[in-house]
Amino acid sequence: MRRSTPADGAEKGPRTGRYDGRFALFLIAPAFFFYTLFLILPLFGTVVIGFTDWTGISFSTLRFTGLENFIQMAGDEFFWGAFRNSFLFVVCCLLVQVGVALLFAIILESGPRYARLFRSIFFVPFVISLVVIGILFNFLLDPTIGIVDILLRAIGLDGPKFGWLGTTTLNVFVVIAVHIWRNFGFTMFLLIAGLQAIPRELQESARLDGATAWQLTTRITIPLLREVLVVASVITSIDAMRVFDLVYTLTGGGPFHSSETVVTYIYQLGLGGARTQHGYATAIALVLVLVIIGMSVLQFTLARAGRGALDT
Amino acid sequence: MVFSELSLPVRLLFYLFLVVAAVSILYPLMWMSYTSLKTNEEVMLSPFGLPTRISFENIAEAWQTGNFTRLYANSILIAVVSVIGVIAISTTAAYGLARYHFTANRTLFLYFLVGMAVPTQALMVPSFKLMAILDSWADALYLPIPLLNSPLAVILTYLSWSSLAIIFIRAYFMSIPPELEDAARVDGARELQILRHVMVPLAMPAIATMTIFYFVFFWNDFLWPLIYLQKHTLRTIPLGIMHFEGKYVSLWSLQVAALSLAAWPPIFIYVLFHRRIQRGLTEGALKF
Instruction: Find the CATH number of the domain harbouring B201.
Output: 1.10.3720.10
DSSP letter (8 states) at residue A93? I
Give me the pLDDT at residue B12, please.
93
- Position B156 in a domain: yes
Q: Tell me the average pLDDT across A99-124.
A: 93
Give me the pLDDT at residue A4, please.
42
- Position B103 in a domain: yes
Instruction: Find the CATH number of the domain harbouring A242.
Output: 1.10.3720.10
Q: Do B95 and A27 touch (CB under 8 A)?
A: yes
- Position A115 in a domain: yes
For A25-58, give the DSSP string. HHHHHHHHHHHIIIIIHHHHHHHHHTTB---SS-
Give me the pLDDT at residue B86, please.
97
Q: Look at residue A5 and tell me whether its pLDDT is greater than 80.
A: no
**Cβ A230 vs Cβ A298: under 8 Å:** no
Q: How far apart are CA A33 and CA A30, in angstroms?
A: 5
Q: Look at residue A266 and tell me whether its pLDDT is greater than 90.
A: yes
Q: Look at residue A287 and tell me whether its pLDDT is greater than 80.
A: yes
Give me the pLDDT at residue B42, please.
78
Residues 51-70 of A with CB under 8 A from B: 54, 57
Report yes or no: A35 at the B interface, CB cutoff 8 Å.
yes
Nearest CA to B263 out of B54, B100, B26, B42 is that of B26
- Low-confidence spans in chain B with pLDDT less than 70: 246-250, 287-288
Give me the pLDDT at residue A9, please.
44
Band (A97; pLDDT cuts 50, 70, 90): very high
**Cβ B281 vs Cβ A186: under 8 Å:** yes
Which domain range does residue B112 map to? Answer: 67-247
Nearest beta carbon to residue B105 from set A13, A57, A242: A13
- Position A53 in a domain: no
- Position B127 in a domain: yes
Q: How far apart are CA B262 and CA A203, in angstroms?
A: 45
Give me the pLDDT at residue A16, please.
58
Q: Which of the two residues, A71 and A209, has the higher pLDDT score? A: A71
Over the stretch A223-260, which tens digit does the pLDDT of each residue have? 889 888 998 999 999 999 999 999 999 998 878 888 99
What's the whole-model pTM score?
Answer: 0.90
Q: Which of the two residues, B6 and A40, has the higher pLDDT score? A: A40
- Position A98 in a domain: yes
Give me the pLDDT at residue A15, please.
55
Q: Do A231 and B288 touch (CB under 8 A)?
A: yes
Q: Min CA distance, B165 vs chain A (Å)? A: 10
Number of separate domains in chain A: 1
Which domain range does residue A216 map to? Answer: 83-264
